[in-house]
Amino acid sequence: MNEKLQPVVSALTARPGFRSEEFRGEVTLFVPAEQIVDTCRLLRDEFHFDMLVAETAVDYWPKLEPRFHVVYLLYSFASNANLNLRAPLDGNAPHLPTIEGIYPNANWYERELWDMFGIRFDGHSDLRRILMPAEWEGHPLRKDYPLGYEEVQFSFNHKEVDSKKPYARE
């Protein structure tokens, strides 16, 4: 572990509900979902983690408790250290507070999470789809959403696949 991260980890794991993990030299802090805003504010103001590199999520379906982990990647210029935060969420209508007030960067990342995973962010200024068309139904990156691939056309099923495929006529 980077020595500069040691005080941060000890300060935060002293709180109830927090724990830390280390894997291949990277530190991950597990944060309860309701406390994410306070944690981010503390990290930015006191420990100088001034840049939110990215915000993303992982889906663990069919495990439902927790089903999603929202991952925050933070970087500190002063101590040249990377820190990961994970907020576990469960169930099928996940929501957690937005950190747009702390890192303005998070605006589009949280829109992408709403679009791709269906995670609602309370207090977000502009929560609408960003990558998929506006009237799309479903959240594509969830594990129960199908990949949607087309059957490969070999010579034995050539005519079958051809008849089902829509072609544009003029």
Amino acid at the residue 80: N
| Least distance from other proteins to the Cβ atom of residue 101, Å | 12
The pair of three-digit structure tokens given for residue 95, joined into one six-digit string: 């929501």
Q: Does 147 bind other proteins (CB under 8 A)?
A: yes
The rounded distance, in Å, linking the Cα atoms of 104 and 109 is 10
Q: Which of 10, 38, 77, 122 binds other proteins (CB under 8 A)?
A: 77
The pair of three-digit structure tokens given for residue 92, joined into one six-digit string: 């099928």
The rounded distance, in Å, linking the Cα atoms of 121 and 139 is 15
CB 75 within 8 A of CB 53: yes
Q: Which of 4, 66, 108, 124 binds other proteins (CB under 8 A)?
A: 108
User: Which CB, 80 or 93, lies closer to other proteins?
Assistant: 80
Q: Select from 14, 74, 87, 71 the least CA-distant residue to 44.
A: 74
Q: Does 144 bind other proteins (CB under 8 A)?
A: no
Q: Which of 62, 93, 150, 156 binds other proteins (CB under 8 A)?
A: 150
Residues lying near other proteins in the complex (CB under 8 A) are found at 23-24, 26, 28, 50-54, 56, 58-60, 71, 73, 77, 80, 82, 84, 103-105, 107-109, 125-126, 128-136, 140-141, 145-150, 152, 165-170
